[in-house]
Amino acid sequence: MSHASRLAVSLLALAPFIAATPARADPVTMPAGANVTADAAGALQTQIRAWVAGLTGPAVDFGSHALRVTPEGDAYRFEVPVMGPVAGTGWAITGAPITAIAKPTDGGGWTIQSLHLPTPIRADQPAAPDGSPRNWMLTLAGQESHGRFDPTLRGISSFDTVLHGYVSVTQTATGTQTMHYDSYTAHVGWTPAGDGRVTMTNTGQGQNLTVFVDRPAGAQPVTVSAGSIRSTGRVERIAFDRIGAIVRDIGGLVPSAVQAAAAAAAPNSISAADRPRLHDLVVSLRDLLGGVQAETTMEHLRFDLGGQSGSLASLTVGGRAAAAGGMLDASLHLAMAGIDSPLIPQGPLRDYVPRRIALTPHLSGIPATDLIALLLHAIDTGDQDSLQAGAIALLAKGPLKAGLDDVLLDLGGTVLKANGVVTVAALDDIKGSARIDATGLDTLIHSANTVPELASARPFLIVLKGIGEQKGDITTWNITYADGQTLVNGTDLSTLMPK
């Protein structure tokens, strides 16, 4: 289950109680100790339905999906029917209602005693032009969810869920994908960050993940499995008062998007009628949050990609993005260890398969305000050609920096570590620098002298050793690029190239 899906489930669970509307309407609260009666439940239902209608606007027709509230002991039972068509999308959902039992607490908060997702739940879209089915179904063998929520956003909120026997099946023209977890545990927390904003964190852990893709006739199936999967995420300073406008704008754009997809329209084709709404959506998304980061690690990973099989002891994928100081700053992180595959031939070369590989691509120096202004201009005018010229102009306001942080290549006896950055102030003004440290390079050179399969690398390794700076067992190369010239430890690299 991805970060987005975990957050979506949690937000779906809490959505009936959220009070941060664009107009900052009064929170949906009930005083603790108040009598739980049918009249009180009816009044609460009316209040929430009015809030949801104000949040989404007329573009989203909930129809039979409207929330229902009934008394249950000293608490309230919230029920969101999910069955029926999803307005404007062509999808239809089949399943029991989403239910939650919630009790008001002192201070206007809620204790969520139990929340249940429907199982099974199914979503169907009209068949593809070739007649292929397009549907999705989820079943759960067991589930338990509870939490606490402060709709004023002035206190801490948290939500915990445990899913057992998670199975989802997706059918499309490209085949049938089945995903299974033995169990999945997730925790989501909201912490006030001032000015009505909230910082959201989430953690999750799944056991025994299996993904199987049964592809059309003639194509070999794909299988991926992992003994465990752990993930974390953090979204800084979400401005909930913008959510309503975003929901309304997206709801208004959905019908056009569905029609464009059905007609296979060009991805950048935007109708004149949709331009104002898309403009408003970009404005609402601007400064919606302060930053986002996420990371997922899978252990004991095995894969068979249509006959190409292998395994990894661990695989980590993560990233972060922010706009500190008005400049976009984003990076990805990839790390893997314990690489093995039957495709790796037996013999001495197997000893030099990397034990660990890691790298972190990093992009920064893009002025966020100017980038959004450029995007809004393209939306308003439909002038796609101006995007390229505008993007080039942004370089001078940066400059743009593209680099690699924390590069690691572990060959066992030899370990390479590196980092570097390229600075682009203009298309004709590019500079760069990098540092590479190799521990145990002599070990690799010795292997090249004794292992026939590595003999072809011997001259290259000797040259690297010769231009490197030696300090103990570490060989270092400091690389710079400017004005079309590349220097390695002060030596012009072109002088080392064959004439």
Residue span of the structural domain in which 110 resides: 3-322
Residues 86 and 211 in one domain: yes
Q: Which of 289, 322, 355 is the last residue of a domain?
A: 322
Residues 422 and 302 in one domain: no
Q: What confidence tens digit (pLDDT) does each residue in 13-64 have?
A: 344 333 333 333 444 555 555 678 888 888 888 888 887 777 666 666 666 6
pLDDT for res 394: 83
Does 373 fall in a domain?
Answer: no
Long-range contacts for 471-475 (Cβ within 8 Å, ≥24 apart)?
Answer: 473/439, 473/440, 473/442, 474/437, 474/438, 474/439, 475/437, 475/438, 475/441
Domain tally, the chain: 2
Q: Are residues 267 and 337 in the same domain?
A: no
Q: Are residues 87 and 12 in the same domain?
A: yes
Lowest mean pLDDT among 69-83, 93-107, 255-269, 390-404: 255-269
Q: How far is CA 136 from the centre of its chain?
A: 21
DSSP state of 91: -
Does residue 287 have a pLDDT over 90?
no
Residues constituting the chain = 499
> How confident is the model at residue 304, as a pLDDT?
93
In a domain, 384, yes or no: no
Specify whether 352 is located in the same domain as 430: yes
Spatial distance between the Cα atoms of 27 and 108, rounded to a whole number of angstroms: 8
The per-residue DSSP string of 344-379 comes to SPSSGGGGGS-SEEEEEEEEEEEEHHHHHHHHHHHH
CB of 365 within 8 A of CB of 417? no
Please report whether residue 352 resides in a domain.
yes
Q: Based on the domain organization, do 352 and 303 belong to the same domain?
A: no
Based on the fold, state whether residues 56 and 29 are members of the same structural domain. yes
- pLDDT surpasses 50 at 81: yes
Q: Is residue 437 part of a domain?
A: yes
Q: What torsion, rounded to 10 degrees, do the Cα atoms 104, 108, 111, 112 define?
A: 90
* C-alpha–C-alpha distance, residues 171 and 169, integer Å: 7
Task: Indicate if 243 and 341 belong to the same structural domain.
Answer: no
**Residue 398 half-sphere exposure toward CB, CA atoms < 13 A:** 26
User: If you average pLDDT over residues 337-352, what whole number do you get?
Assistant: 85
335 and 458 in a common domain: yes
d(CA 438, CA 468): 9
pLDDT by residue (tens digit) across 432-461?
999 999 999 998 888 888 888 888 888 888
| Domain membership flag for residue 26 | yes
Of 290, 322, 354, the position where a domain reaches its end is 322
pLDDT at 29: 55
Residue 389 lies in a domain: no
Residue 438 domain-assigned? Answer: yes
* 118, burial (CB in 10 Å: exposed 0-12, middle 13-18, buried 19+): buried
User: Do residues 243 and 140 share a domain?
Assistant: yes
Select from 322, 340, 357 the last residue of a domain: 322
Residues 226 and 283 in one domain: yes
pLDDT at 2: 41
- Asked if residue 409 lies in contact with residue 416, where contact means CB atoms within 8 angstroms, the answer is yes
261 within a domain of the structure (yes/no): yes
Q: Are residues 83 and 120 in the same domain?
A: yes
